[in-house]
Chain A
Amino acid sequence: MSADLSPPVARRSDHSPWNYLLLIPIVLPLLTFLYNSETPRLFGIPFFYWFQMLLAPLAVIASVSAFYLARRTKGARSIDARSNRREG
């Protein structure tokens, strides 16, 4: 089962500069001093609550962007990787 069935793939990587987008929704929610305030209100909702309600949509935007942007830049390279594998 653990025997190598496929030849090793040269230099695969999950690295992409777009991954840094993920840091925004991770770090921003931890900075409580930024949003621990009653004003400005939105539709009568204190800032503390409506600001944090926006964190989840922000997480969607950041992670979805990171996924699609990284895939687009990797598109060309992964074709190379596949042909390397066949030769290897």
Chain B
Amino acid sequence: MHVTELVITIILFVLVAGVGFWAARWRQPPHLHSLDEWSLAGRKFGSWIGWFMLGGDLYTAYTFVAVPALLYGTGAIGFYAVPYTAIEYPLVFLILIRLWSVCRKHGYVTPADYVRGRFGSPTLALAIALTGVVATMPYIALNLIGIQATLQVIGLNGHWPLIVAFVVLAAFTYRSGLRAPALIAFFKDVLVYLLIIVAIAYIPAHVGGWGHVFSVFNAHFASVKPHNAFLLTNSNQLQYATLAFGSAAAIFLYPHAITGVLSTRSRDVVKRSIAWLPVYSIVLGLIAMLGVVALAAGIKPLVSGGKANTNTIIPGLFESVFPHWFAGIAFATIIIGALVPSAVMSIAAANLFTRNIYKEYFRRNASDREQAEVSKITSLVVKAGAVLFILGLQPQFSINLQLIGGVIILQALPSVFIGLYTRWPHRAGLLAGWVAGMGTGVAMLYVTPNTAAGQAHWGGSAFALSHLGINTTQSLYTGFIAVVINLLVTALVTLVAKALRVPDGRDETAAVDYYTDEADMPEPESEAVPA
């Protein structure tokens, strides 16, 4: 047990939890009895808060521990997070302002709300909502894995610290809504920047310089597996590019990312925040490099229950090179890092349930206050579910589910992103495309083995083209293939549906709605309430 680290971690955690509870009064909300106020903080965040909040929301604790662990474990292919996070913001820069505008105009809270309004299909909206919930749940659970790996290094092996952390998180999210993670994001991000600057300035020199670090890394991958080189091989370059591109296209389809975007005040705020967000990707690249450094520093993953947990290498690296007090700050950073995304994810998943299941199918006339209440309670259920995931099931199960989550969330792309630009797809086409993309995506993941880990199924997100009878060693990102199938089926069924004159849904949005800005809207307080 590392007492100094533990004490510093507890102090910082308590401080941040206090901020989370106080956040209910931040910026003097008129009330917290509507989804706009509780879950979108009144849609009033400016550029600074928007930038901090989205950064804190998108870079999870799992990112901090898993990205370097991947590089440590698999070599060059594990570096894909770096091009992925460089591509993601320029890619969505123009798309998200259209989404922001139409959601602001019509008061949409979730991506599924938008799909319902655009394509006039509650069924398609339900499909999009379920996709979001199923993709988000294991993501929350993975944040817990980040906390758990850190606690393991501190020397706390029981379940109770994890439960305490999540109960506190659930309580302040229930009380303060999105304001809590937004305010905590300031603390989190400042800590993250501080930690990474210190780590990159100090650790590589401490273990013998970058030249030495990479010669150890190179020698390691030359010795273990020939295909996992420290450079890409001929057979995984396409996989690398499609994985980076597919992941970049997927990230802003996640409900928690969209919740963050919708909480901002204007189109310019969205643009300015998104334009500056790759600054976080610079930090992510440095964090990834720590995986290489950990190998050179001779850090070995901790073993618990007979399995080596590579997620412990980064906390392990901090513990071995930093003085105790700074290691404590580092551990607190990872744990606080988990709180912001977990809070936003649980809010976003709860909103999907409230808006697109509860209100749609059970209580058509639910008032604003009732919707907020349902979301608040659902956010508790979501977090309890995530804890049960981690405690009751093998962590591998959550990792598999998150792998599936990344592939299936992409299946919302035709309805959400393409829908922003064209109303050409028929609702039947989009639904058929969604079914085809989901089915093939999950099937492809199922038949992919991981020989290294001795798993016959769910072995990774690289689909070998040899499965299709093509004589090649090439693989592609499964999500990428699935979304291409989705798009093809969408187009085909749309053509058939239009030829057969199958009735299409009503589009309640107008072309100008996609350009709505702050100045076009009345003050939120005086806004008419949707029945």
Interface hit among B93-101, B159-167, B302-310, B372-380: B93-101
A31-81 contacts to B, CB under 8 A, are: 31-33, 36-38, 41, 43-46, 48-49, 52-53, 55-60, 62-64, 66-67, 71
Count of residues in B whose CB is under 8 Å from the partner chain: 62
Residue B285 is within 8 A (CB to CB) of chain A in the complex:
yes
Residue B154 is within 8 A (CB to CB) of chain A in the complex:
no
**Residue from B83, B209, B279 whose CB has the most chain A CB atoms within 10 Å:** B83
Q: Which residue of A lies closest to B215 (CB)?
A: A44
Size band of the A side of the interface?
Answer: 35 or more
Complex Cα distance A38/B232, Å? 10
* CB < 8 Å neighbour of B86 from A5, A44, A58: A58
Residue A2 is within 8 A (CB to CB) of chain B in the complex:
yes
Q: Are A14 and B106 in contact (CB under 8 A)?
A: no
With A14-B97, A59-B278, A63-B275 already in contact, the answer to whether A45 and B285 are too (CB < 8 A) is no
Complex Cα distance A26/B278, Å? 12
Q: What A residues does B98 contact at CB under 8 A?
A: 14
Interface hit among B398-406, B422-430, B507-515: B507-515
Number of A-B contacts (CB under 8 A): 145
With A49-B79, A52-B285 already in contact, the answer to whether A37 and B275 are too (CB < 8 A) is no
**Residue from A6, A36, A53, A56 whose CB has the most chain B CB atoms within 10 Å:** A56
* CB < 8 Å neighbour of B93 from A22, A32, A46: A22
Residue A8 is within 8 A (CB to CB) of chain B in the complex:
yes
* CB < 8 Å neighbour of A46 from B214, B241, B521: B214
Q: How far is the CB of B239 from chain A (nearest CB, A)?
A: 10
With A12-B512, A44-B213, A55-B86 already in contact, the answer to whether A37 and B530 are too (CB < 8 A) is no
Complex Cα distance A13/B211, Å? 50
Q: Which residue of A lies closest to B105 (CB)?
A: A2
**Residue from B276, B282, B527 whose CB has the most chain A CB atoms within 10 Å:** B282
Complex Cα distance A53/B76, Å? 13
With A8-B510, A9-B515, A22-B94 already in contact, the answer to whether A36 and B237 are too (CB < 8 A) is yes
Q: Which residue of B lies closest to A52 (CB)?
A: B82
Q: How far is the CB of B237 from chain A (nearest CB, A)?
A: 4
Q: Which residue of A lies closest to B83 (CB)?
A: A29
B116-145 contacts to A, CB under 8 A, are: 117
Q: What B residues does A19 contact at CB under 8 A?
A: 94
Complex Cα distance A62/B90, Å? 8
Complex Cα distance A45/B510, Å? 52
Q: Are A66 and B210 in contact (CB under 8 A)?
A: no
Q: Are A32 and B86 in contact (CB under 8 A)?
A: no
Residue B525 is within 8 A (CB to CB) of chain A in the complex:
no
Q: Are A48 and B210 in contact (CB under 8 A)?
A: no
* CB < 8 Å neighbour of A56 from B86, B214, B238, B527: B86
Complex Cα distance A59/B85, Å? 9
Q: What B residues does A9 contact at CB under 8 A?
A: 512, 515, 520
Q: What B residues does A30 contact at CB under 8 A?
A: 83, 87, 241, 244-245
Question: CB within 8 Å of A: which residues of B?
Answer: 76, 79, 82-83, 85-87, 89-91, 93-94, 97-98, 105-107, 117, 209-215, 218, 230-232, 237-238, 240-241, 244-245, 268, 271-272, 274-276, 278-279, 281-282, 284-286, 289, 292, 508, 510, 512, 515, 519-522, 527-530
Question: CB within 8 Å of B: which residues of A?
Answer: 1-2, 4-6, 8-9, 12-14, 19, 22-26, 29-33, 36-38, 41, 43-46, 48-49, 52-53, 55-60, 62-64, 66-67, 71, 82
Q: Name 30 interchain pairs, CB-CB below 8 A, sorted by A.
A: A1-B529, A4-B510, A8-B510, A12-B515, A14-B97, A19-B94, A22-B94, A24-B90, A29-B83, A29-B86, A29-B87, A30-B244, A32-B238, A36-B232, A48-B76, A48-B232, A49-B79, A49-B289, A52-B86, A52-B285, A53-B285, A55-B281, A56-B282, A57-B282, A60-B276, A62-B90, A63-B276, A64-B275, A66-B275, A67-B271
